[in-house]
Amino acid sequence: MTDQKNREANRDSNREAGGDARPAGERAAPLAIEVEGLCKRYGDHEAVRNLSFSVRAGEVVGFLGPNGAGKTTVMRILTGFLPATDGTARIAGHDVFSDPIAARRAIGYLPETPPLYPEMTPASYVDFVARLKDVPRAKRRAAVDRALERCGLASVRGREIRQLSKGYRQRVGLAQAIVHDPQVLVLDEPTVGLDPIQIREIRALIADLSRSGHQTVILSTHILPEVEAICQRVILIGRGQKVLDQPLAELTKGGVALEEVFTRVMTRDAADAVEKGAA
């Protein structure tokens, strides 16, 4: 009972503080994502280790780390596709483990490889997802049209997805993620495998979505220019742990490149790991 009270007290404290120092105006925004003590183990391997962070409504956050750092594992836990070993995660106040249906309704997810049906058209596929997300029948057609329009798919809405370029298929993935107007948008490596023109188009699209202000966006990537172009804040993880959580403007103050910050922090983290292993 004492442990439970301590956990509740810590959770309330984290909610009040938001997990990091912010200007007073930003502190007023409610928490859209709350992660506390998150762990994911596969046998003896810890993919995620005691990870805690929070994201306020309307924030656009870059979730960074080298390959194998645990980024995708965390994204899959947040979106309800993977159970955690320990810890809690909440989306718009809904626990993803004890209240998964409400949590999933509050989140839009673009995985690294969108699960598209090639024989469907963008319009039919996004309508299919809208049904799964319980968009009311009376509002469904308008929601589908709006998602297709925002993602630049109106001109190809009737073509089979198999006939579309990879860049356009990625747009379809984004459209299905936003069709139910979620409070939280999770994007996992949204430009991986695209050519430079497609990358520029998708980044512009994500930036446009983030400018709406009412959606919280968490962008998981290892492509630093993407973060510099879109995000307000950076969370950096290494070996499944948080090693940095800071506003982008502070990290790049004085013309410091984000790549330089990333390299410095991850080099220090690797050195600490070697030192602990030798101890």
**Confidence (pLDDT) at 275:** 60
> Has residue 52 been placed in a domain?
no
Tell me how crowded residue 187 is: count the other CB atoms within 10 A of its CB. 27
pLDDT confidence band for 276 (50 / 70 / 90) = low
| Terminal CA-CA length for the chain | 36
83 found inside a domain: yes
Q: What percent of the chain has pLDDT over 90?
A: 71
Average of per-residue pLDDT across 200-212: 83
Distance separating alpha carbons of residues 107 and 40, to the nearest angstrom: 21
Read off the pLDDT of residues 221-267 as tens digits, 9 standing for 90 and up: 888 988 998 999 999 999 999 999 999 999 999 999 999 999 999 99
Establish if 232 belongs to a structural domain: yes
For residue range 29-65, list pLDDT tens digits in order.
Answer: 899 999 999 999 999 999 999 999 999 999 999 999 9
Residue 92 lies in a domain: no
Closest CA to 216 of 89, 78, 32: 32
Greatest Cα pair distance in the chain: 64
Distance CA 266, CA 261 (A): 8
Residue 218's domain comprises: 59-87+182-278
3-state helix, strand and coil shares in percent for the chain, rounded to the nearest 5: 45, 25, 30
> How many domains is the chain partitioned into structurally?
1
Extract the tokens encoding 129.
């997802």
Model-wide pTM > 0.75: yes
Position 80 pLDDT exceeds 90:
yes
Name the phi and psi angles at 246, rounded to 5: -155, 150
